Amino acid sequence: MSLKKILLLLLFILAATISFSQITLKGKVFDVETGNPLPFVNILFNEKGYGFTSGLDGDFKITTTEDIKWLKVSYLGYQTKVVTINPENIGESFKIALFKTSYQIGEVVVKPGINPAHRIIIAAYNNRDKNNPEKLKSFKYTSYNKLYFTIDKLIAKKLKEVYTDTVKNLDSLAINLEKLKQQQHLMMFETVSKREFKAPDNNHEEIIASRVSGLKDPFVAFLATQFQSFSFYPELITLADKAYLNPISLGSTKKYLFILEDTIFTPENDTLFVISFRPHKNRNFEGLQGQLTINTRGYAIQSVIAEPSAPEKGMMSIKIQQRYERFNDNTWFPVELNTDLVLALPNTDVKDKKSGNTYRVEILGVGKSYLKDIEINPVISSKNFSHIEASFDPKSGERNSKYWNLYRKDSLTAQELKTYRVIDSLGRVANLDRRMKFLTSMMTGRIPIGYLNLNINQMFGYNQFEGYRLGLGLETNQKVSRVIKLGGYYAYGFKDEANKYGGFTELTLNRKYETTINYNYCNDVRESGMYSFGGEASLFSGSEFFRMISVKKMDGIEEHKVGFGFRFLKSFKLNLSLANQKYDLLSSYYYKTANLTDTLKKFNQSEFAASLRFAPGEKFMETPQGIMPLNTDFPVIYINYIKGLTFMDGDFKYDKVEVRIDKSYRWRVLGKTSISVDAGQVFGKAPLSLMYFGRANYMEISVESTHCFGAMRMNEFISDRFVNIFLKHDFGKSLWINRSGKWQPEFAIAQNISYGDISNNDKQVIPTGFSIKSPTKGYYETGLIINKIIPDGLMAIGFGVYYRFGAYSFSDTKDNFAYKLTMTYAF
């Protein structure tokens, strides 16, 4: 026998000896009351203090050469438990139930001296760029995501506390609810996606498999899994589209209370610090509470549990868990993400007459994401990325079980299989796909009816000129063609007693780059002296729809327009158009003709227009319904260039330039600031209808709108050059001391300014009898807004007041006030 073979044999025997001497212990930790698994539970074994944390599903596995005599299991908010291990039970799977305790972080009294947790938190902050996965040069991974909704089995128990005289019925209800919960879930979503990232901000995620119980639309499943930030390192952590200050951030030791709960030593000779956190009392900012496990190997986050410290009193609350593993060269990367949702059903409140407590029926949602095939700093071509950040494989909704099993961590349980089987059959009977398409179409203002879409934005409107406006708008949908779209509308104004109508056709050359050619015709009315940066005034766009209610002066217009639009260089969207217009001055003014004897109530105009939108860093999602924009943190810039032409019977020759800059900035603890600057100028000779009225939104009581002046009267000012500044700061709850109370309004302040002027009358066409007034000295108004005074379901109602001051204030003080209703999301 050769020496090599002898050496291999010895190594084999040695390895076998080691493996035979190893002891493997596995099990799961769960909540004794709910039966739900507990992730990232701290588990110590034996006297040396070696330990680890459980996985996302509460599961654990120990492999060691030592005899395991006992396990010490501890978890924030639960009683610590010591489990004795008998040698004869080593091969069993242990189920460890933990009981909740009344212990709360807020009850801890912090004594004077150095907090040992601060040194660890500061070290974690100093190393956060090194440990943040989104600071890597590149990475890629595959993610399996599952989300299911189930019944809160504690509903009946809560109701018992309120209605003691119906215990028998409630016992029956509790039994039935528990049976249903054990048999199946209410709803279930699964997706598989592949993600690639390349610094600094190139990102693309493709959904390659998608399944929703009762539905076939893959888009719904993707949205159902987007509830939390990818990692716990950004300064602001996003949960359900709301931002919270990270406890590992600059100066966080002054804002958060940190408590070193436990110290664990791993078999790899690393130390794990278990630290609980919550905001200091009477610190008003959007903060989190929970538990961090910091590994001394790079002072990186190994696991985190977090939830809002002052949850909203609306419909939804959320809690997240994340677990990280160390890869090559000590790089840490998330491998498991968990989201717990509690959805409170509206109009199900039950009030306890004795205690005054109100209970609401709740649905529980549990979302789990498992990352695999993780590659750190792979070579990725920049050609793999575009402005599309998320897309769907056309076959994502058609994957079979064999395909799914390649990515699932475990096979589906009998409970999960029954959920698909039962809900899928119900979905077919109730036609849930059609209903879901109806709901998503409602958000875009389109309702599918066979081969046509009903444009609900054309169905109803109101303004001071037309009064109530009723109409009907129809257009073809993708069932007819994904390339060509035809549409038209009819409307009638009950105050001006006039018919309006129009139609369009659009040819899509490239969906990804939104390249289209279109023709539009309308015989309608249009606001005098307006400017626009695209978009349709609809109930779902909110702001512009509510401003239109206040509009008083309109012109009749018959317009033929051809247009061409496309996207280029990722961040630019350009629309070009050529239009021929016939204006009819419907408001109480007219122009004198050149000989000053005749009056001019109509004029013709030809226009070339170029509209550019520049949104650096903006990303989009390519869905089966089309391209959808995602949020951008950078300023968004709009530029309009309009040239009046004298050919095709155009009466006026001029140039117009209009600019808008929108920017929002979210502060670490003081809320959100939004600023918008609008500016425009007419070069050459143009009639009043083509100049600029002050962008007012005044009625005795009106709904607050953006990009307009709350206390400025309609058509009070006219300019051919102007600058409007709209500044608003939303404090959120940072000014509210009683953060645990049921009433939690949110405060905001606003400051709006307008400067404008008009050229000499011989350079502009001013109507006869029209009083010229421009804000040359500056128009100023300040607003105070209190949002969420009345939260109810999805929406919350608030109230605001604006006050105008300066050179254009009224002598009677009460006339300077304007009162506003506000509408915001309740959660």
Task: Kindly state the tokens that stand for 577.
Answer: 């158009």
pTM of the model: 0.79
Alpha-carbon span 376 to 744, nearest angstrom: 44
Listed by start position, the domains of the chain span 20-103, 136-396+408-430, 511-825
Find out if CATH 3.40.50.12780 is the number for domain 20-103: no
Q: What pLDDT shows up at residue 19?
A: 41
pLDDT, position 366: 84
Distances in Å between the alpha carbon of 241 and those of 188, 191, 223, 631?
A: 21, 20, 12, 10
pLDDT at 687: 83
Find the DSSP H helices in 390-518: 401-405, 414-430, 432-444
The predicted pLDDT at position 18 comes to: 39
In angstroms, the CA 404 to CA 523 distance is 54
At 172 the three-state DSSP class reads helix
Query: Residue 48: its pLDDT value, please?
Result: 63
Which three-class secondary structure string do you get for 21-68?
Answer: HCEEEEEEEEECCCCCECCCCEEEECCCCEEEECCCCCEEEEEECCCC
For 418, other C-beta atoms within 10 Å of its C-beta total 14
**Structure confidence at residue 755 (pLDDT):** 96
CATH of domain 511-825: 2.40.160
Residue-level pLDDT at 754:
96
The Cα–Cα gap between 382 and 374 comes to: 19
Which of left, alpha, beta for 373 (phi over 0: left; psi -120 to 50: alpha)? left
Contact 699/711 with Cβ under 8 angstroms? Answer: no
- CB distance 470 to 491 below 8 Å: yes
User: How far is 132 from 139, CA to CA, in rounded Å?
Assistant: 12
Which secondary-structure segment (H or E) carries 568? strand 554-568
Q: How far apart are CA 339 and CA 412, in angstroms?
A: 19
Distance CA(367)–CA(223), nearest Å, equals: 12
Count Cα atoms within 13 angstroms, Cβ side, for 80: 9
Query: What does the pLDDT look like over 68-81, one tens digit per residue?
Result: 778 888 887 788 88
Strands (E), 694-737: 701-703, 718-719, 721-732
Place of tokens 């006039």: 498
CA-closest candidate to residue 485, choices 511, 457, 513: 511
CB within 8 Å of 105: residues ≥ 6 apart: 257, 259, 276, 277, 278, 289
Which of the residues in the chain have pLDDT under 50?
1-21, 103-108, 153, 156, 160, 162-163, 165-168, 170, 595-597
In the block, residue with structure tokens 């809690």: 319
pLDDT at residue number 768: 61
Q: Please give the helix or strand (H or E) that residue 739 lies within, else none.
A: none
pLDDT at 9 (0 to 100): 42
Cα angle for residues 749, 715, 681 (degrees, 5° grid): 85
Strands 388-392 and 202-212 turn out to be parallel
On whether the CB atoms of residues 818 and 800 are closer than 8 A, the answer is no
pLDDT in tens, 547-565: 888 998 899 999 999 999 9
